């Protein structure tokens, strides 16, 4: 059995255990809901990755793997992925700013606004950090 298959199965069963524990353990409402949501997410991710692995493995041949490897390393495709990632980053930053301002003006709880502000700060830190990392690497 492949390592990835084991990881998918482990995630699925860990999700099932979380679901069972959320119903059995005498927890307060919030931790039980958190455990339930975490369990559902693990089960869905494990199952979907397991199914996709079996579907992809049947359609892949040596020729398709070779073509895929060549296209992955093609400079044009690399530039397309880089530009798409940067553009996505810009759009998400704008959406986070709008959400932060909306939550502040709509008098949401303070922690909601602080979460959005923290995510904006995290985005900036990651942008600077990755810029420095890739500048040194290339």
Mean pLDDT rounded to a whole number for the chain: 84
Residue ending a domain, among 40, 59, 78, is 59
Last residue of a domain, one of 16, 36, 59: 59
Spell out a b/e string for 45-75, using b for 16 or more CB atoms within 10 Å of the CB, else e: ebeebbeeeeeeeeeeeeeeeeeeeeeeeee
Q: DSSP per residue over 103-121, as a string?
A: HHHTT--HHHHHHHHHHHH
Q: pLDDT (tens digit, 9 = 90+) per residue, 37-90?
A: 888 888 888 888 888 877 766 666 777 777 777 777 777 777 888 888 889 999
**What proportion of the chain, given as a percentage, has pLDDT over 70?**
95
Domain that holds residue 13: 1-59
- If one counts the domains in the chain, the total is 2
Distance (Å, whole) CA 17 – CA 11: 10
pLDDT reported for residue 50: 83
Residue 98 has pLDDT above 90, yes or no: yes
What is the distance between the alpha carbons of residues 23 and 121, in angstroms, rounded to a whole number? 37
Domain identity same for 112 and 44:
no
Q: Are residues 21 and 83 in the same domain?
A: no
| 1 confidence band (pLDDT: 50, 70, 90) | low
Domain boundary among 26, 59, 92: 59
């Amino acid at each position: 059995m492949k390592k990835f298959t084991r990881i998918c199965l482990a995630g699925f069963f860990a999700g099932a255990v979380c679901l069972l524990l959320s119903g059995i353990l005498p927890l307060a409402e919030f931790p039980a809901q958190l455990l339930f949501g975490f369990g559902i997410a693990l089960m869905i991710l494990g199952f979907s990755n397991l199914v996709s692995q079996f579907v992809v493995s049947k359609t892949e041949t040596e020729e398709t793997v070779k073509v895929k490897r060549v296209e992955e390393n093609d400079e044009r495709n690399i530039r397309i992925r880089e530009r798409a990632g940067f553009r996505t980053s810009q759009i998400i930053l704008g959406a986070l700013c709008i959400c932060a301002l909306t939550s502040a003006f709509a008098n949401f709880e303070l922690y909601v606004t602080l979460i959005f502000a923290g995510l904006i700060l995290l985005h900036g830190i990651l942008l600077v950090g990755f810029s420095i990392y890739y500048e040194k690497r290339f």
